[in-house]
Structure 1
Amino acid sequence: MKNINLLLVFSALVLQGCQGQDSSETEQKDLEAIFPKGKLGPSEYFTGKAYNYGLVPNDSTYTTLVGNVFFEPGARSNWHTHPGGQILIITDGVGYHQIEGEPIQVMKKGDIVKCPPNTRHWHGASPDTGLQQMYIVPNTEKGIVEWMEPVTDEEYNVGE
């Protein structure tokens, strides 16, 4: 009888250990933030929740704007252009990027994406995973951004 009780206790401990391992694996799916989350972006330019944190303000010396955007799963920007172009550095998560007329690209941690000047594009998180991206907008003397219409669910869901 003692052996059966010890076996039951041991089995319960093993099961608890496995359950703890599963939950830690789930926690590892959370994005690791390099920068603070920032301020919620306006719904007129984003679908879902996207947070912006400015890193390097625009000025006449560097004529470059740098910041970080955290997209919650499913969040995305509207279509937009940058007169001087844009560079994205993906620091965590999984997301989508599309230049008008081209297929959607999947972006992952470590990817670098270049958006040519005056080219319509959008970017955001995948449906199930958030996205952290650093953005660099060079040549700001030409302008920073021109916002356009939202990306439709049909356009977005092509990426799945």
Structure 2
Amino acid sequence: MSTQTRLRERPIGDLLADFAHETTTLMSQEIELARAEVGIQAKRAGAGAGMFGAAAALALAGLGALTACAILALAEVMDGWLAALIVGAALLVVGGVLALIGKKKMSQVAPPVPERALTEMKRDVRAVQEGVQAGRENDGGGHHNGS
């Protein structure tokens, strides 16, 4: 006895109940896949952010040393306060330009999307639609009377 014959012998209420249960289970599994995928991306982002934080701290210390060097070098040819003012102003200008560039780049970032989970869900929806359409075609468009 084929699967199609066994399905035709079952009451429509049982088939609909099975369909609802299997659809719910499938959607739950797809949501779980999406959560796992986003979680993995978040862990990777966290590790990368930690490294960027350490790099920023070291770069800040280096920038402080270079700032002191620039001020001391300029202080050889002008008053120390003027050298510090010039170096400080230059650093603020560079910092402002970098902030504007960073703001523009951040506005172009898309939110993280669980691509695999969305692809799987779309595939599942297509499979259900094709199955329903095939069932209609095999049934000849007639109505099932439950017997």
Q: TM-score, normalised by structure 1?
A: 0.28
| Bigger radius of gyration | 2
Whose helix fraction is larger, Structure 1's or Structure 2's? 2
Greater fraction of residues in strand: 1
Q: When the two structures are superposed, what TM-score results if normalisation uses the length of structure 2?
A: 0.30
Higher relative contact order (CA 8 A, sep 6+): 2
